[in-house]
């Protein structure tokens, strides 16, 4: 009888773990969930500091020591960026393309939100700081 009860308990545990795994998989792969592709890029991942996030704009501050990089992310909104303290930046795109860029202090740029997925890293020997302003659509 003890073996029978132990078998029943083990069976229920296995079923419970399997159902939990299926539920977690379904939650992560639900419609509308953005799954970022893997991009093999070295460095410590440092997220942006959110300075403002409202109905009109999202303003982020990126600060990287040499060797640090951003998380993999996708740009779906137009954005303006201002380099506060420049350094040499390496961008890794989802298709495997790599671009190096000397981003000088004071540089200002505009990037259209075309669904570009990437990560970027400070490969220079000085800290890098940049502010990005995403422009949200009018409501």
Confirm whether 37 is domain-assigned: no
Residues 54 and 115 in one domain: yes
The answer to the question of residue 36 being in a domain is: no
Same domain, 64 and 109: yes
Same domain, residue pair 48 and 90 = yes
Residue 39 lies in a domain: no
Lowest mean pLDDT among 16-20, 45-49, 68-72, 88-92: 16-20
Torsion, Cα of 32, 33, 39, 44 (10° steps): 130
Question: 41 near 93, Cβ under 8 Å?
Answer: no
Q: What angle is formed at CA 53 by the lines to CA 47 and CA 59, rounded to 5 degrees?
A: 60
User: What is the mean predicted confidence (pLDDT) over 48-77?
Assistant: 94
Domain range for residue 2? 1-31
Shared domain check, 50 and 25: no
* Domain count along the chain: 2
DSSP 34-86: --PPP----SEE-PPEEEEESSSEEEEEEEE-TTEEPPPEEE-S-EEEEEEE-
Quick: pLDDT tens for 8-52: 545 554 443 333 344 444 444 444 444 455 676 778 899 999 999
Q: What is the CATH number of the domain that holds 123?
A: 2.60.120.10
Residues 91 and 127 in one domain: yes
Question: Is the overall model pTM greater than 0.85, yes or no?
Answer: no
Segment 112-122 mean pLDDT: 90
Under a CB-based contact definition with an 8 Å cutoff, are residues 117 and 93 in contact? yes
């Amino acid at each position: 009888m003890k073996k029978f009860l132990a078998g029943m308990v083990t069976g229920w545990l296995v079923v419970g773990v399997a159902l939990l795994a299926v539920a977690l998989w379904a939650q992560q792969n639900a419609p509308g969930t953005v799954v970022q592709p893997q991009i093999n890029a070295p460095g410590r991942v440092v997220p942006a500091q959110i300075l403002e996030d409202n109905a009109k704009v999202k303003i982020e501050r990126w600060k990287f020591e040499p060797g640090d990089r951003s998380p993999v992310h996708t740009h779906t909104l137009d954005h303006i960026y201002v380099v506060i303290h420049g350094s040499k930046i390496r961008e890794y795109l989802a298709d495997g393309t790599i671009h190096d860029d000397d981003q000088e202090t004071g540089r200002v740029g505009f990037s259209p939100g075309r669904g570009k997925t990437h990560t970027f890293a400070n490969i220079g020997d000085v800290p890098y700081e940049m502010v990005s302003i995403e422009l949200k659509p009018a409501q």
